[in-house]
Amino acid sequence: MKTDIQKRTLGNSGLEVSALGFGCMGLNFSYGHSLDKSESIALLRAAVERGVTFFDTAEVYGPYTNEQLVGEALEPFKNEVVIATKFGFNIVDGKMAGLNSTPAQIKKVAEASLKSLRVEAIDLFYQHRVDPNVPIEDVAGAVKDLIAEGKVKHFGLSEAGADTIRRAHAVQSVTALQSEYSLWTRRPEEAVIPTLEELGIGFVPYSPLGKGFLTGTMNAGTKIESNDFRANLPRFTP
């Protein structure tokens, strides 16, 4: 039985998504404990049944395995949901190895993500992190080419500053900007959110519950496993 979850349109793009999105990273990456495949698939499909239509993954989650999981779980619903994924890193021996947003890399990642996600076009393709070695105009141009080829529907940026957003948007309309935003991460309010409002770009907060801290289940004595990425974040030290 589907729940009536509110919808949002991301900026002026016409891309409609559920107000509550499902961040898929933690299924099998970054937070220490991973769900097994059957649990993950059941969870993702239960989210769809409850009205969630917006799912977020990335090439580097796993790497690769998170996209594959999302692709398998959501294949029966691929015409009903919006799947966002991300490019922008080198992956060497199964680990992130620096930034890489060259146009050739972007196009290579798009082909791989299409296969992993089992879709004909990527709904929303984010640059995962700004690459200082590649002009943002070249990044936007590469995604513009992919949109022209019908392989990508919408272009997004993650953790980009106001000037970078403007420069990218001048080449290819940016549908959404994804950044960390919560009660304890307010910086986007300074320059980024006003810029998005001016340009008609949607804002997608990640870690809106402070990576778990704002759920009321953590305190100074909470033990964080060594394979949980929060163990290396200053906010989670005693």
Catalytic residues: 61
The single-letter code of the amino acid at 146 is L
Tokens representing 83 are 């799947």
The single-letter code of the amino acid at 23 is G
CA-CA distance, 39 to 69, in Å (whole number)?
11
CB 152 within 8 A of CB 107: no
- How distant is the alpha carbon of residue 126 from its chain centre? 7
Alpha-carbon distance values, 109 to 59, 84, 128 (Å) = 8, 13, 12
Would you put residue 51 in left (φ > 0), alpha (ψ -120 to 50) or beta? left
Angle between helices 103-117 and 65-74 (to 10 degrees): 40
Name the burial class of residue 85, with classes exposed (0-12), middle (13-18) and buried (19+) by CB atoms within 10 angstroms of its CB: buried
